[in-house]
Amino acid sequence: MGFLNPDVYLFDHEALDERGELIVVHKLPYSDVTQYSAEERATKFGAYVPLEYSHTLTDQIGGQLAAGFVLTGFAEGPHQSNASAQYMSNYFATLAVKPG
């Protein structure tokens, strides 16, 4: 299962891209629904853009374990178009198997 590092939602990417500043602008877990009103979402993203959400690592990894999966691998990698990639990995992936 692959997922994004929640930093994608945490930081002001314009400030990071333009000035190299890591400025926190959103709480995690992130949700377009709670962050913006319907009118703000329509203006910012357009009327037919899918909504985005982040999840906690407890949800992402703990959910797999709670469902009976055993994690047998883990990998991470950068998102080359994301300025935060110079500081941290932006993608995570787990390899999980369900015994039996």
pLDDT tens sequence across 34-70? 999 999 999 989 988 899 999 999 999 999 999 999 9
Torsion angle, CA of 74/89/59/41, rounded to 10 degrees? Answer: -150
| pLDDT tier, 6 (very low <50, low <70, confident <90, very high otherwise) | confident
Q: pLDDT above 70 covers what percent of the chain?
A: 100
- CA-based Rg of the chain, rounded to a whole angstrom? 16
Q: In angstroms, rounded to a whole number, what is the distance separating the alpha carbons of residues 79 and 85? A: 6
Yes or no: say if 88 and 7 are a contact pair by the CB < 8 Å rule: yes
